[in-house]
Amino acid sequence: MSKIIEGLRYADSHEWVKLEGDIATVGITDYAQHALGNIVYVDMPEVGDEVVAGEDFGAVESVKAASDLISPVSGEVVEINEALEDAPELINEDAFENWIMKVKVSDTEAIDELLDAAAYAKICEE
């Protein structure tokens, strides 16, 4: 069973969001990293890029497949996890510790439209 953390919000495209003030930390879920297998590359946006909820902001490549990353929030990228450039496999080790980007969110209330842990768990079971 994949790890799902209470208190985070989830997109049905398997990204997680942790909102602190107007900064959203975004990564992929444990379920997603298990499905992908050994991650070999993470394509991330640049700091200063605008991301739009529901649109792709990068990709994760594994030995099995490549998967687009879909932004669960809209706003400006304020930080990327540079550790992933040299060690993308960190996501396999802990998908929740090893976030991908931080976004200054333009609409914090839109987070409420994302799934809570229980609703996301149901998607993972299907």
77, 117 Cβ separation under 8 angstroms: no
For residue 1, pLDDT beyond 80: no
Give per-residue pLDDT as tens, 48-83.
999 999 999 999 999 999 999 999 999 999 999 999
State the pTM of this model. 0.96
pLDDT per position as a tens digit, 85-125? 999 999 999 999 999 999 999 999 999 999 999 999 999 99
With CA atoms as reference, report the closest residue to 75 among 105, 102, 109.
Answer: 105
**Three-class DSSP category at 106:** coil
Residue 56: domain span:
9-107
Is residue 116 domain-resident?
no
**How much is the mean pLDDT over the chain?**
96
Residue 63, domain member (yes or no): yes
Please report whether residue 76 resides in a domain: yes
Cβ atoms of residues 14 and 95 within 8 Å: no
Report d(CA 56, CA 38) in Å as an integer: 21
CATH of the domain at 29: 2.40.50.100
